[in-house]
Amino acid sequence: MLRSPHDFIGEPKSTYIVMHDNFTSINGETYNESIDEAITSKGNEWYIRWKFDRNRKVTILESGSSDDIQLPATFGFTLSGNRISGIPFSGDFTSYSTITEISDTQFIIEMEDKGRDEDGKSDYYHRITFEKVQ
């Protein structure tokens, strides 16, 4: 699996997303969304291009999301086995994503985020494939 933290050095961009988001509010209202698609343009909300460096920093260089984040934005990350942690890799109820595949040309991360808070119950999952461009 992960041969060393140096496997991440470079600039990957997202190329494919599989996602489901199922939320039930405390009032019983439901929200469901599913995506299974190629990310073919910078305008796709799931498009992201990162830069990983040898100091365990990840910089978000480009993003198709409408988040109110000033780019470029740099964050630290940690690796523990096949888990990658840090702000870009966490959800509301989990603090990490799982690296399910890594090679010289691509890597895949998955996040499963399930929990309950004052707003309701969430069942969220995503699997994103990244292509190493540099």
Instruction: Report the number of secondary-structure helices (H) and strands (E) in the chain.
Output: 0, 10
Name the phi and psi angles at 94, rounded to 5: -135, 150
Residue with tokens 């978000």: 60
Digit-coded pLDDT (tens) for 51-96: 999 899 999 999 998 777 899 999 999 999 899 999 999 999 999 9
Residues of the chain with pLDDT > 90: what percent?
77
User: Is the separation of the CB atoms in 71 and 60 below 8 Å?
Assistant: yes
Q: How far is CA 129 from CA 3, 24, 112, 118, 122, in A?
A: 18, 28, 15, 32, 23
DSSP code of residue 70: P
* Residue 76, token pair as written in the block: 């630290």
